Structure 1
Amino acid sequence: MKSNLFSALLLLVSALSFSQTSKSAKIFLDSTWNETTEAKHKYYRIIKDYYSDKDSYTVCDYYKSGSLQMAGTSKTKDRLQKEGQFVYYYENGNKESMASYTNGSQTGKKYNWYQNGQKKSETEYFIDNNTRYPSYKIIQFWDINGNQKIIDGNGEYETKTDNFYETGKMANGLKHGIWEGNIKSLNLNYKENYENGTLLLGVTTDSQNIKYEYTSASTMPGPKKGLKHFYQFFGTNFKITNEARINNITGNMALNFNIEGDGGVAEIKVVKGLGYGLDEEAIRVIKSYKGWEPAKSRGIGYKVQYYIPITIK
C-alpha cells in the first residue's frame, strides 16, 4: 500500500514538474501583427515551452475564432525568427502557403493555394546579387479557375482578392515591363516599371492624390545610418547607474518598440532586463535616438515592431 502511494505521489510530482517546465506562452496580436490586448486582438500566438531554454521553439498563430493560421519554428522566443518549414492556412482550414526559411530569410520554393483549395502558384526565392535583398521568381501560376497563366516563368500574372489587385508580365520568372495594382483598404493605387526583375521606378497615389516615388517595393525598418551607428550612440549616451556599478551588474538586455510610419518610436518595452535602473536608462537612450527609418511599402511608411539586443559590460 505504501509502495503504491509512493508511486502515485512520484507520478504527480513528475507531472507537475513537466507542466511547469513545458508551459506555453500566449500573445495577443492585432490586425497588423503587433502585440495588443485580449479585447482588441484579431489573432493570438502560442509559443510552446516558452519558459524553457531551447535552441528553437514551436510557434502557432490562430485566428480569433480559434482556427489555425500558421505553424512553424522560431530560433528565438521573444520575436519570430523563422527557421525551417512554415505552413499558413485560411480560416476555413484550407492550406494557403508553404515555404522554408533559413535564419529568418525565405529560401527555395514556395507553394500557394487559393481559398477553395486549388493551386495558385509556385515561386522560388533567392538573394539578389545586386541589392543583396531576398527576391523571387514566379515559376508557375494558375488563375482562380485553374487555367495556367504562367508556364516555366513566362506569361501574364494577375491576382485579385477583396482587398488587393495586381497584374503584369513575367519573363524568365521575373517581373518585366509595366505592373499595376491597388490596395482597397488603404485606398491607394500604384504603377511600377521593371526590367528583368529590377524595379526602375514605382509611383503610389494615395486617397488624397499625393504621389510617392520609390525604387524599392519594400524597405526594412532600422537605424538610418545602420546598427553600428546606433550602438555607438547608445554606448556614448548610456550611463551606468550607481546601484548597478556597486553591484557589478553586467549582461544582456533586449527591448521591443514600435517604429512608427514617420520614423518615431513608441511603446518601448523591456523584454529582458537587468534591473538596478539599467532598464529605465536603456529606454531613455532609445527615446533620445532620432535616426530611425520606418518600414515602407511602395513608398509609404507604416508601423512595425522592432527588436534590439543590448550588451552591458
Structure 2
Amino acid sequence: MSTNSFAAILFLLSTLSFSQTPKDGKIFLDSTWNETTEANHKYYRIVKDYYSDKESYKIYDYFKSGVLQMAGASKFKDRLQKEGQFVYYYENGNKESMESYISGSQTGKQYNWYQNGQKKSEREFFVDINTRLPSYRIIQFWDINGNQKIIDGIGEYETKTDNFYETGKITNGLKHGIWEGNIKSLNINYKEKYENGTLLFGVTTDSQNIKYEYTSESTMPGPKKGLKHFYQFFGANFKISKEARIYNVTGNMTLNFNIEGDGSIAEIKVTNGLGYGLDEEAIRLIKSYKGWEPAKSRGIGYKVQYYLPIIIK
C-alpha cells in the first residue's frame, strides 16, 4: 500500500466529540475489560445518551489516565456489539488501528500503526466459506524500522512488543506452515501449524510446563450443549411466583454473569428484570444449571462476562 493511500486513510477519519453529559453512562472496566469498581478500574467507558432508547449508541473507552483508547458504536448500551467504524489509540495519543464491523463481526480492511506512528499492516477480514468462522488476510506488513516484509500477501511476518511475540510465513495473505509465539503476561509459549490459513493443530505450554492442545485459536463461552439445551432446561424448571400469576407478568429479562476460566459462574446480575420473584427464580436456575463452557484462547480458559436474554410468556 502506498504512503499516499495511508495518508488518505488518516485524512478521512471523522472528527469525534468526546464531551460527557448527564445523560451519558459511565462503566468502569478492569484489565480484562470486565466491569469492575471505580477503585479497581484500568479503563472506563462512556456510553453517549445511555438513558435514552436508541438503535445504536456511541461508545468511547478511555485509559485510566483519561486518554481516549477507542471510539465506535454499539447496538446495545450494556454490552458491546460493534457496528460500523472503530478507531483504537495508544496511550500516547497515536492511532493503533482502524477497522469496521457489521453486527459484531469484523469485516473489510483493517489498518494498523506502531506506537511511534509508523504504519504496521493492512489486513482484510472475511468469513471463511469452509468453517464459516471469521478470518483475515495479511496484505501488507512493515517492521518497526519501516521495512516492508509482506508485499501483496507474500512474505515473512514477525511482530514483537513488550508482551507479545509471533512469527511465521504468509502465502496468499494467509498463515502457512509453522508459527510460533509467546505472551509474557500469561507466561505461555505456543506453536501452531497452518495450511492455507487453516489451523491444523496448536499446542500451548504454560509456566508449569503443562500443555494445552487445540484446533481453534479461540472458542466462545456458553452452555456446553448449546443455548437450545439451556433454554429447554430453563423452560422445564422455571417456577412462576403466585404474585406474577396474579398480575399476569410477562416480558423480557436480561441477566449477565461471569463464566470463569474453569467453567464455573459468578456474580450473576439482573440488568433488566420483571420483579415479582421472577428475577430471583432466573438467578436460581442459572446457578443450578451445570455445564458452562468458558471462553478459551489457544486452549486456555479465561473469564468473560456473559449476557443472557430470557423471555417470560
Q: In which range does the TM-score fall when normalised by the shorter chain?
A: over 0.9
AA aligned to 2:54 is K
| Larger-Rg structure | 1
**1:215 partner amino acid:** T
* In structure 1, distance between residues paired with 2:123 and 2:290: 39
User: How far is the alpha carbon of 1:232 from its aligned partner?
Assistant: 0.8
Where does residue 28 of structure 2 map in the other structure? 28
2:263 is matched with 263
Q: Distance in 1 between matches of 2:129 and 2:279?
A: 40
Q: Give 1:230 shift.
A: 1.0
Match of 1:154 in 2: 154
Write the distance in 1 (CA, Å) between the matches of 2:139 and 2:229.
Answer: 40
- Structure 1 Cα separation of the partners of residues 132 and 260 of structure 2: 25
The match for 2:129 is: 129
- The letter for the 2-side match of 1:309 is P
Unpaired runs of at least 5, structure 1? 1-18
Aligned to 1:180: 180
Matches within 5 A, 1:33-52: 33-52=33-52
1:243 aligns with 2:263: no
1:7-22 to 2 correspondence within 5 Å? none
Deviation at 1:130, TM superposition (A): 1.7
Query: In structure 2, what is the Cα distance between the partners aligned to 1:110 and 1:226?
Result: 32
Q: Deviations over 1:65-87 (max 9, x none)?
A: 00000000001111001000000
Aligned ranges for residues 1-313 of structure 1 at < 5 Å? Answer: 23-313=23-313
CA distance in 2 between counterparts of 1:186 and 1:94 reads: 26
User: How far has the Cα of 1:295 moved from its partner?
Assistant: 0.5
SS of 2:281's partner is helix
Task: Name the CA distance, whole Å, in 2 between partners of 1:88 and 1:164.
Answer: 18
Q: Which amino acid aligns with 1:241?
A: S
Partner Cα distance (1:297, 1:76) in 2: 25
CA distance in structure 2 between the aligned counterparts of 1:78 and 1:140, rounded to whole angstroms: 36
SS for the counterpart of 1:212 is strand
- 2:100 is aligned with what amino acid? S
Give the letter for the 1:60 counterpart. Y
Deviations 1:54-103 (A, max 9, x none): 10000000000000000000011110010000000000100000000000
- Letter of the aligned partner of 2:55 in structure 1? D
**How far does residue 52 in structure 1 lie from its aligned partner after superposition?**
0.5
- Shift of residue 238, structure 1, vs aligned partner: 1.0
Q: Deviations over 1:145-189 (max 9, x none)?
A: 000000011100000000000000000000000000000011110
Q: How much has 1:280 moved relative to structure 2? A: 0.7
Give 1:116 deviation, angstroms: 0.4
Aligned residue type for 2:50: Y
Q: Deviations over 1:4-28 (max 9, x none)?
A: xxxxxxxxxxxxxxx99x7001000
Q: Which runs of 4+ in 1 moved over 3 A?
A: none
The amino acid that maps onto 2:237 is N
Deviations along 1:240-269, whole A, 9 cap, x unmatched? 111111111000000111111111111111
Distance across 2 between alignment mates of 1:95 and 1:282: 43
| Offset at residue 237 of structure 1 (A) | 1.2
Question: TM-score scaled to structure 1, two decimals?
Answer: 0.93
Deviation of 1:37 after TM superposition, in Å, equals 0.4
In the alignment, what sits opposite 1:7?
A: none
Code of the residue aligned with 1:223 in structure 2: it is P
Counterparts of 2:74 and 2:109, CA distance in 1: 19
Show CA shifts across 1:28-52 (max 9, x none): 0000000000000000000010110
Q: Note the alpha carbon deviations across 1:177-226, whole angstroms, 9 max, x for none.
A: 00000000111100001010111110000000001110011111111111
Q: Distance in 1 between matches of 2:242 and 2:149?
A: 67
Aligned to 1:9: none
Q: How many residues align?
A: 294
Cα distance between partner residues in 1 of 2:129 and 2:226: 20
Q: Distance in 1 between matches of 2:229 and 2:105?
A: 24
Q: Provide the C-alpha distance between the structure 2 equivalents of 1:190 and 1:90, rounded to a whole number of angstroms.
A: 26
Distance (whole Å) between structure 2 residues aligned to residue 172 and residue 39 of structure 1: 48
Letter of the 1:53 counterpart: D
Q: CA deviation at 1:129?
A: 1.4
Equivalence for 2:14: none
